[in-house]
Amino acid sequence: MFSHRTLSFLVLAVFMVEECSALTTDISSLINRIDNYGVLTDEQKAKVLNLSPDQNGKVRLHKDCKAINRFEATPSGIYVIQPSGSYPFVVYCDMDTKGGGWVVLQRVSKNSATPFGRGWKTYKHTFGNMENDHWLGNEYVHLITKKGHYEVKFVIESSLGKIEVDYVSFNVEDETNKYKLRLGPPIGTSELHDYLTNFDKNGTSDNMMFSARDEDNDRDERNCAEVVGGGWWFNQCSNVYFNDHQIRWRGVCDDCQSATILIRPTFENCK
């Protein structure tokens, strides 16, 4: 007979195996189920890094980029992921920055060829060049973050160099709640550049609903998404915003060269 303690360990072990196991699926049916596959060019479709089937025609899909590189080194690039309770979709995984395992939510550069002055429905899904400037899509960000605890890194580059601003937690609510942003406190020296949770006359982006040019959810008298030319979790029309007209992070640069948003699970688990 197993002791109560032994049974507890066995149950935990089974749970962890189930939670940490990748989803195995048939490649022949997978392609048609990848929700944002159409955003890729034909060349990019050929470069997706985890669509090589095994001898049985099966591929393994993980929940996020950190799960992909948990057990072996993998290169940065385009991957298919499938968060718990979700459908599969493509993301760009940054496997190089600070240990890797990051999902790229947005990448934008000054004078970008990708316009960011889009409407609500466009911001819901992926647009742009997955290997360059793009927006992953609010719905996909929600699906990734709703099942676990994620940290976020904002990488802002100016003519003076690069600044990283990190927050303990990052979550985006569902469309019913207008993809409201939930941020934890800044990490370490990031507090010096915190203009997302640190309240001032312009308010904070934390706990704000997303706004687009045709969906004004900010607290300004104006439609901030129209004023600055791109969607964001606006409170007032200043402090922080990333779009093709202007990339701004107050206190760092008002006309930044580029910006990237990265998220990954905080803990080494598979939730």
Convert the pLDDT of each residue in 26-64 to its tens digit.
888 899 999 999 999 999 999 999 998 888 889 999 999
Sign of CA dihedral 205, 209, 210, 212: negative
Q: Which domains does the chain have, with CATH numbers?
A: 17-265 (3.90.215.10)
Q: What is the mean pLDDT of residues 76-88?
A: 96
**Element holding 154 (H helix, E strand):** strand 150-158
**Tokens, residue 27:** 């490649």
**At residue 218, what are phi and psi to the nearest 5 degrees?**
-85, 180
CA-CA-CA-CA dihedral for 62, 85, 264, 179, to nearest 10: 150
pLDDT at 234 over 80: yes
pLDDT of residue 268: 59
The pTM of the full predicted model, rounded to 2 decimals, is 0.90
pLDDT of residue 21: 56
pLDDT of residue 230: 95
Reported as a single tens digit per residue, the pLDDT across 121-154 is: 999 999 999 999 999 999 999 999 998 999 999 9
**Tokens, residue 13:** 């072990």
Q: Give the confidence band of 2 by pLDDT, cuts at 50, 70, 90.
A: very low
Q: Give the whole-number percent of the chain exceeding pLDDT 90.
A: 73
Which is nearest to 71 in space by CA: 22, 30, 24?
22
Compute how many other C-beta atoms are within 10 angstroms of the C-beta atom of residue 25.
Answer: 18
